[in-house]
Amino acid sequence: MNLLAVVGSSRKGKATDTLVDKAIEGALSKNPELKVKKIYLSDYNINYCKNCLACRDSKTKEPIALCAIRDDMDILNKDILDCDFIILSTPLHNGGVTAMLMTFFERICWTLAKPEGRYLTFYGCPTSRTDKKRKVISIITNGSVPPIYRIICDDATKLINTVTRDILNGKSLGSLYAGAIENRGVEYYFKKAYKLGMKLT
Amino acid sequence: MNLLAVVSSLRKGKSTDKLVDKAIEGALSKNPDINVKKIYLSDYKIGYCKNCLTCRDSKTAEPYAICTIRDDMDILVKDIHDSDLLIWGTPIHMGYIPSILMTFIERFVWLFAKPEGKHLTLTNCPTPRSNKKRKSITIITNGIVPPIYRMFCDEATHIIKETVKETLNGDNLGSLYAGAIEKRGVECYLNKAYKLGMKLV
């Protein structure tokens, strides 16, 4: 079983990163055989999606359509295909995910999904290209906004849940909103992150 | 009067670009003396925000704080500062603004805002550093989702509106949602874009 942890923050060793570490610890405590790969998106050269839609319109039977851009996404695509568990983490920027994580999402969107889904009367929605099921948890950090205001300030969880369901063919097992970290310190959320990690396996 | 038009699509000469051109035409028809500058974000090298928060914590009395990253944002920040009228042109990516625009917004939010605003009991919210008023319109394009589903699929307008209000002291005069462009073609929205541009002046 492979666990892929994606850190969408540029600050290594800081709040988001440490909470992801705790979640990984939690997952390993339940299943020590787990193969863990943690990636910092800031270490990879990922270009913006050019919206050429070559991937969306691809009729390939492979689990992943080929992107027209050649860059480090080629490596990350393999990691995503191999993984069974995913931890997605991001600090909140303007109430949403970071631009870095968004760049990553845009690039996997139509490579991993095909436009054959349907909502109400509307066709052409993304649905996963494979039947492989994945389990996903998400960790959101915020420096100033406390959890009580999460409902107003957190659009990131919604986006992550959509990506999980429609693109990664994943089931979201929970998310941790670590708010007001500047006041409370990140230690306050260690236990919650550990427990969330345990849920994953 | 300076008009700044920001095109955050990577496809030059395509829908978003054309509609922005029409809106500029509309604005010029009302006031031919406007100084227009149109920028393609893809032409500039803009690094991701590192979340060091130097800008947020800056106590400067200037209209904008200085970022620690030296790149093409130095040019763009001056353009934003000089602008009186703003046009935002963006496609929708996964219901949100594309990552290239997110990168741009992340980089100027705390330059032009200071953390002295308040919502309910929550302090440290962004509020503009200068009193300069701006006017802004937004053009959103979407290939497949028709306008009737806008409310489910368009978080972009909200993000741009909030940013303009809380960061640039801007008044939002309207937005155009050009949906289902792959079927309808962009031509059916040209007139609306022109009219929206006229509103700006």
Mutation target vs A (from B96, B101, B167; most A CBs, 10 A cutoff): B96
Mutation target vs A (from B16, B94, B97; most A CBs, 10 A cutoff): B94
Smallest CA-to-CA distance from A9 within B49, B57, B93, B66 is with: B49
Could you give the CA distance from residue A133 to residue A119 in angstroms, rounded to a whole number?
21
List pLDDT tens digits, range A25-66: 999 999 999 999 999 999 999 999 999 999 999 999 999 999
Say how many domains are in chain B: 1
pLDDT at B181: 94
CB contact under 8 A, A11 and B122: no
Chain A residues touching chain B at CB-CB below 8 Å: 9-11, 42, 48-51, 53, 91, 93-96, 98-100, 102-103, 105-106, 109, 115, 119-120, 122, 124, 143-146, 149, 152, 155, 159, 162-163
Could you give the CA distance from residue B102 to residue A94 in angstroms, rounded to a whole number?
9
B86-96 burial code (b ≥16 CB/10 A, e <16): bbbbbbbbbbb
Q: Tell me, what CATH number does A85's domain have?
A: 3.40.50.360
CB contact under 8 A, B98 and A49: yes
Q: Tell me, what CATH number does B13's domain have?
A: 3.40.50.360
Stretch A84-99: mean pLDDT: 95
User: Quick count: other Cβ atoms within 10 Å of Cβ B44?
Assistant: 15
pLDDT at A179: 93
Residue A139 in contact with residue A101, Cβ under 8 Å? no
Helix (H) or strand (E) holding B16: helix B15-30
Residue B90 in contact with residue B98, Cβ under 8 Å? yes
Average pLDDT, chain A: 94
pLDDT at A114: 94
Mutation target vs B (from A47, A102, A104, A162; most B CBs, 10 A cutoff): A102
| Chunked mean pLDDT (size 10), chain B, 201 residues | 96 96 97 96 96 93 95 96 97 94 96 91 90 96 91 92 94 95 95 96 90
pLDDT at A53: 92
Per-residue pLDDT band at A154 (split at 50, 70, 90): very high
Question: Distance from A5 to chain B by nearest Cα, in Å?
Answer: 20
pLDDT at A124: 85
Enter the pTM of the model. 0.95
A117 neighbourhood in chain B, CB within 8 Å: none
Could you give the CA distance from residue A86 to residue A33 in angstroms, rounded to a whole number?
16
CB contact under 8 A, B162 and A94: yes
Residue A90 backbone phi and psi in degrees, to 5 = -160, 145
| For chain A, percent of residues with pLDDT exceeding 90 | 91
Q: Which two tokens stand for residue A61?
A: 């039977």
Q: How far is CA A12 from CA A17, A73, A194, in A?
A: 6, 20, 19
Residue B180 in contact with residue B144, Cβ under 8 Å? yes
Helix (H) or strand (E) holding B91: strand B85-91
Say how many domains are in chain A: 1
Per-residue pLDDT band at A121 (split at 50, 70, 90): confident
Q: Which two tokens stand for residue A92?
A: 């909140």
pLDDT at B109: 95
Q: Which of B51, B91, B93 sits opposite A10 (nearest CB)?
A: B51
Stretch A114-131: mean pLDDT: 88
Could you tell me the residue range of the domain that residue A49 belongs to?
Answer: 2-200
Could you tell me the residue range of the domain that residue B194 belongs to?
Answer: 2-200
Q: How far is CA A187 from CA A21, A22, A103, A144, A152, in A?
A: 12, 10, 29, 15, 24
Smallest CA-to-CA distance from B117 within B104, B130, B128, B126 is with: B126
Could you give the CA distance from residue A29 to residue A196 in angstroms, rounded to a whole number?
12
